[in-house]
Structure 1
Amino acid sequence: MRTAVTDMFGIEFPIMAFTHCRDVAAEVSRAGGLGVLGVVGHSDENLETDLAWIREQVGDRPFGVDLIVPARYEGADQGGLDTEQVKALIPEEHQQFLDDMLDRYNVPPLPDDDGPTQNWGPAAPLSSRRADRHLEIALAYEPALVANALGPPPPEMIVKSQAAGAKVAALAGRAVHAERHVAAGVDLIVAQGYEAGGHTGEIGSMVLIPEVVDAVAPVPVLGAGGIGRGRQMAAAMALGAQGVWCGSVWLATEEAETTPAVKEKFLAAASSDTERSRTLTGKPARMLRSAWTEEWNRADTPDPLPMPLQIILTGEARRRIDRVSHHPESGAQKLANYFVGQIVGTMNQVLPTRQVVYNLVEEFIEAVQTLSTQIEDGE
């Protein structure tokens, strides 16, 4: 296969895999695509460890990193708040609601020796100050791609990444957003439709992808949102995309670090079992519907806080849930949740990551050949 994206990165297949799991990222790159490690939850030390491991595993093959610096967040005018400043802004009402929920579902506290909830360091998550340090660490391992998942990448990110030889990508949920990203200097646009897992907009992929392609040509576009099969990959490229950006489909692979309870839910879920919710990060993000979202959706519960307050608020609660979600005596299994797109309805089998890549390619080829036959038969 050859597209502008395969030429740009020297890869065999125009498949980019967003994942928080280093094993998945490495396997996709080794299989001929490009693994992109989401690093927002990493401490500096863990990021060093994971990137060094990925580089060792992939050798000269390319990989990428995904940072999140939203255009708007609490404390953005100051470059981001300190973690302790964020904690001080969390209302007691929200903490009390969360504590009561965990008590009602019989979710035990973390043991004393379990360590802190999250080693965010002094800078709060999803802030430019935190991303600056992550970018500095990442560029030392020569990633081929640096992506920003919320809003246009800060100018410093673009300048530093491109100076280090990395291409810069940004996700867009509207054509006007894509145009802003290109004006800022990015090399690649990810047109992410409503169907996608995680932070996503309100326009479906079938409409969004050609709009973005037309708006930013000749800058290459990746199709994202609802893409986990080769036929969907063929559809995205028929709409003008030069490749695809997949995230949810890797969550059910053998290598994925998805908790067992959540993976089981993914395997059993239908495509209608997700919703866009602010309950995990403070911004609308598609996730699996569960008792967690139902509790927050009740009329008598407080509204989710803005980013990054909601992340700090829910961090320990999510850790407590994940830790015991496999215990039948706890209600944590009902609360267990994670980001996932509508493609979850076809994620009904656990496969090796490499096999998922090959399945995408094989079904893509079959779809293209079928269309070619139909065209020939119609002549």
Structure 2
Amino acid sequence: MRSPLCDRFGIEYPIFAFTPSQDVAAAVTRAGGMGVLGCVRFNDADELDEVLTWMDENTDGKPYGVDIVMPAKVPTEGKAVDLDQLIPAEHRAFVERTLAELNVPPLDTSAEHATGVLGWLHSVARSHVDVALKHPIKLIANALGSPPPDVIAQAHEHGVPVAALAGAVEHAKRHRENGVDLVIAQGYEAGGHTGEIASMVLWPEIVDAVGGENVLAAGGVGSGRQIAAALALGASGVWMGSYWLTAAEYRLGSAANGISTTQRALLKATSADTVRTRIYSGKPARLLKTKWTQAWAAPDAPEALPMPLQNLLVSEAHQRISASTDPDVVAMPAGQIIGRMNEIKPVADIFAELLREFDEAADRIQGAREK
């Protein structure tokens, strides 16, 4: 399993893995792929710096990247207190009432919790870029499209390529015009922020528009067969996110017997158990379907607020949910590929399975050609 991206990035396999877990990202990199650490959970620049230092020390000198959340247009942020004042009282009341109805306990004030608030703000995202470029990263990806032009220029000055997610051909073309190096063609099936076009349709459209050497296929990738399909449709690699959530190395959130509450929820979910909604960030994102998402879909629920207000609104709620032990009340981005995520496995085993399935698919394709 090779493509020009392997030589371009110095990796063994064209598998790029987005994950908020440094343990998973490092394990993917060590296995021969490109681990890409999600930075939105870091509100403190020093904390991110410490984690990236850990990545430097635990990736055997192999390449890794970072993922930020930064809109191309600079919003008016002001002070946090001013943003708080823009959140309607009825929205706050709904969140508190819902948490009470779902029996989600308050936070343990003696414990530390990642707030997940400021990481969505433009100013903090810029600090993530500044910190990351002090480390030997090999990629900066942006979950919200093209970063601002000066950020792209800053990355390129450090010799770091830039990737951006696209859910439509026009987005992909705009990314390339803006100087983005890699387009992540993310289909409707994907977890997190995603568009409305399915992967099987989107991938070849974007490949035809911007050239396959510049495209990573994302959305519904969780097997070697799907990687083979992505390459057959012209992409030069794959971008996988949800599939790593059930890796044994994933240790974020509350856990029991080595399995996190989120993982317990994912293990029993099917491919039908996700929902595309704006309640996570204010922009359409696919989440695991739980009692939390169902509450927001009720007739008496308020409309989601625009970014970043929605995240400010639900930030503490997500902290409380993450600290709880109820798998039926989880607030987690997850794609439709969760139907294949039925056991906890180390990253090395996941890689071995992906490679075996890819080889089997390639053999089938070769056999079909010979017939």
TM-score (ref. length: structure 2): 0.94
Residue identity opposite 1:48 in structure 2: D
CA distance in structure 1 between the aligned counterparts of 2:153 and 2:202, rounded to whole angstroms? 28
Runs of 4 or more above 4 Å deviation: none
Deviation sequence 1:16-65 (CA, Å, 0-9, x none): 00000000100001000000001011121220111000011113210000
Matched, 1:198 2:192: yes
- What's the counterpart of residue 5 of structure 1? 5
SS at match of 2:216: strand
One-letter code aligned to 2:139 = L
> Measured at CA, do residues 96 and 230 of structure 1 come closer, stay the same or move farther in structure 2, by a change above 3 Å?
same
Confirm or deny: 8 A CA contact 2:113 2:319 kept in the other structure.
no
2:300, 2:121 → 1: CA distance? 31
Cα shift at 1:115: 5.1
Moved more, 179-188 or 99-108: 99-108
Report the residue type matching 1:281 in the other structure: S
- Paired residue for 1:129? 123
Counterparts of 2:183 and 2:4 in 1: how far apart (Å)? 12
Q: Does 1:169 align with 2:174?
A: no
Residues 199 and 119 of structure 1, relative CA distance in 2, 3 Å threshold? closer
Among candidates 91, 108, 113, match of residue 110 of structure 2 = 113
Q: Partners in 2 of 1:2 and 1:266 — Cα distance? A: 30
Query: Is the aligned partner of 1:216 residue 2:210?
Result: yes
What is the CA–CA distance in structure 2 between the aligned matches of 1:352 and 1:4, rounded to whole Å?
27
Tell me what 1:44 maps to.
Answer: 45
- Residue 367 in structure 1 maps to residue 353 in structure 2: no
Mark the runs of 5 or more structure 1 residues left unpaired by the alignment: 327-331
Using the TM superposition, give the Cα deviation of residue 84 of structure 1 relative to its aligned residue in structure 2, in angstroms. Answer: 2.1
* Equivalent residue number for residue 65 of structure 2: 64
The residue that corresponds to 1:14 in the other structure is 14
Q: Provide the secondary structure at the position in 2 that maps to 1:286.
A: strand
CA distance in 2, matches of 1:276, 1:188: 25
- Which residue identity does 1:282 align to in structure 2? G
Instruction: Give 2:257's aligned residue.
Output: none
1:275-332 residue CA offsets vs partner (Å, 9 max, x unmatched): 10111111111011111111101111111111111111111111112222x2xxxxx5
**1:93 maps to what in 2?**
90
Deviations, residues 134-154 of structure 1 (Å, cap 9, x unaligned): 111000112000111112121
1:322 maps onto 2:319 in alignment: no
Residue identity opposite 1:105 in structure 2: L
CA contact (8 A) 2:282 2:305 kept: yes
1:171-226 Cα shifts (integer Å, max 9, x gaps)? 10001100000001111111000000000000001000000011012652010000
Aligned residues between the structures: 364
Q: Which residue of 1 aligns with 2:286?
A: 286
- Report SS of the residue matched to 1:125: helix
Shift of 1:119: 7.3
| Structure 2: tracts of 5 or more residues without a match | 254-259
Give the counterpart letter for 2:84 in structure 1: K
Confirm or deny: 8 A CA contact 1:70 1:126 kept in the other structure. Answer: no
* 3-state SS, counterpart of residue 58 of structure 1: coil
Q: 1:329 corresponds to which residue?
A: none
Distance apart, 1:355 and its partner CA: 1.4
Alpha-carbon separation, structure 2, partners of 1:359 and 1:46? 34
User: Does the C-alpha gap of structure 1 residues 218 and 254 become closer, same or farther in structure 2, counting only changes over 3 Å?
Assistant: closer
Report the AA paired with residue 200 of structure 1.
T
Kindly indicate whether residue 28 of structure 2 is the aligned counterpart of residue 28 of structure 1.
yes
1:156 maps to 2:157: no
Deviation of 1:116 (Å) = 6.7
Amino acid at match of 1:157: V
1:114 CA drift (Å): 3.3
Cα RMSD over matched residues? 1.6
Query: Compared with structure 1, are the counterparts of its residues 17 and 283 closer, same or farther at alpha carbon in structure 2 (3 Å cutoff)?
Result: same
CA separation in 2, counterparts of 1:15 and 1:29? 9
**How far apart are the structure 2 equivalents of 1:258 and 1:362?**
29
- How far off its partner does 1:85 sit? 2.1
* CA–CA separation in structure 2 for the residues paired with 1:349 and 1:309: 36
| Amino acid in structure 2 at the alignment position of 1:273 | D
Alpha-carbon distance between aligned partners in 2 of 1:86 and 1:355, rounded to the nearest angstrom: 45
- Cα distance change, pair 116–16 in 1 and its aligned pair in 2 (3 A): closer
State the 1:334 CA deviation.
2.6
1:141 aligned partner: 135
CA gap of 1:228–1:258, structure 2 versus 1, over 3 A, is farther
TM-score by length of 1: 0.92
Residue aligning to 2:308: 308
